[in-house]
Copies of this chain bind each other. A is one copy, B any other.
Amino acid sequence: MSEFSFEVTHVCKQSGARTGILHTPHGDVLTPMFMPVGTLATVKFVSPEEITDMNAGVILANTYHLWLRPGEDIVKEAGGLHKFMNVNNPILTDSGGFQVFSLMENRKITEEGVHFKNHLNGDKLFLSPEKAIQIQNDLGADIIMSFDECPPYPSTHAYMKDSVERTLRWAKRGKDAHQNDKQALFGIVQGGEFEDLRAYSAQELVKMDFPGYSIGGTSVGESKETMYKMIDYAIQYLPFEKPRYLMGVGSTDAILEGVLRGVDMFDCVLPTRIARHGTLMTSTGRLNIRNAKNERDFGPIDVECDCYTCKNYSRAYLRHLIRCNEGLGMRLLSIHNLRFLIKLTEEVRLAIQEDRFTDFKEAYFKKHKLNSVDSRGF
């Protein structure tokens, strides 16, 4: 019996959006959910206790990066990622597919898998569906991903069709290779902006009966409008009772549009990456802490925020730390941005439970001057 399951707890009468609970070997977490990214087995600068304090649910780690450093064998020997990182949150690992296709030059795709070069030292590497599962089995995350191709954008319909077919064969091979029931293996819907291919990809994956489904390839250069269409194309074929994860997407507008369409899980490196450069998400919009107007501002980043940083530090101090390239500054700003998105999902869940998510979304878009076509919330 798998320790992983999902239940939808409420469907918003106003919008059709849903709340749910993911049951995992490392506890229950609520959806919709934003998942902080801990690429190299650390959410950069942030401790496990700080991750708990910000009320994070699942956190992410990247299979490709951990395969190279420290190596999945070491993580396995440590007792898995949770023990290695000293983290009690459920963890999700990606398959390495996205990094192989976004970080690598000169990759060569074969039916068997992908040949490419290590981005650190140029060594030849090979990743296959079976290898991606083996690495993820050794890492020991609660939720793991099928190995998929993330085709470039734009791709022709003919290329994308071949790619989708191959990714489906890879999904089947990965499923066959995955032989424990402690880790939930998700299938990944691809198909680019082609409605028929998204439908086909989703339908074929559903036949294989995964415990959850990811929607990939939506954030690779397309417009927001196209992204939302791709979600719509896929999600109508995904079973109501299984969790849906929109990969690599975490801007505020895309989270709200995704939730409206029935997405349960989101992740993005953006909040932590921009934080390290001094850019903050606030209830009144984007804020660059380096701006001179913050020099003598002894108030918090955001008066509406309840994060550790906003409760304890002033804009003037944070500006000083970031200008001096201090690690404490990067840490405090990362905590703020992550809490900002997690708090947004808390508000989203409440709005769904109270059958007013459409109102909530519209008010949020109006306040932040967002739209459903081309805006990029943060």
Give me the interface of A with B, judged by CB distance under 8 Å.
Answer: 40-48, 69-70, 74, 77-79, 84-86, 295-296, 298, 312-314, 316-317, 319-321, 323-324, 326-331
Q: Are A45 and B327 in contact (CB under 8 A)?
A: yes
CB distance from A66 to the nearest CB of B (A): 9
CB distance from A61 to the nearest CB of B (A): 12
CB within 8 Å for A78 and B298 given contacts A313-B86, A317-B85: yes
Contact of A312 among B45, B86, B298 (CB under 8 A): B86
CB within 8 Å for A320 and B69 given contacts A74-B296, A331-B327: yes
Q: List 14 A-B contacts (CB under 8 A).
A: A40-B320, A40-B321, A40-B326, A41-B320, A44-B328, A45-B328, A70-B295, A70-B316, A70-B320, A77-B298, A78-B317, A84-B317, A86-B313, A331-B331
CB within 8 Å for A42 and B78 given contacts A86-B312, A312-B86: no
With most chain B CB atoms within 10 A of its CB, the pick from A296, A313, A328, A329 is: A328
Q: Are B316 and A78 in contact (CB under 8 A)?
A: yes
Q: Are B84 and A314 in contact (CB under 8 A)?
A: yes
Residues of B within 8 A of A328 (CB): 42-47
User: Apart from A48-B312, A70-B319, A78-B316, what are 6 other A-B pairs with CB-CB below 8 Å?
Assistant: A70-B320, A70-B323, A74-B295, A79-B298, A84-B317, A85-B317
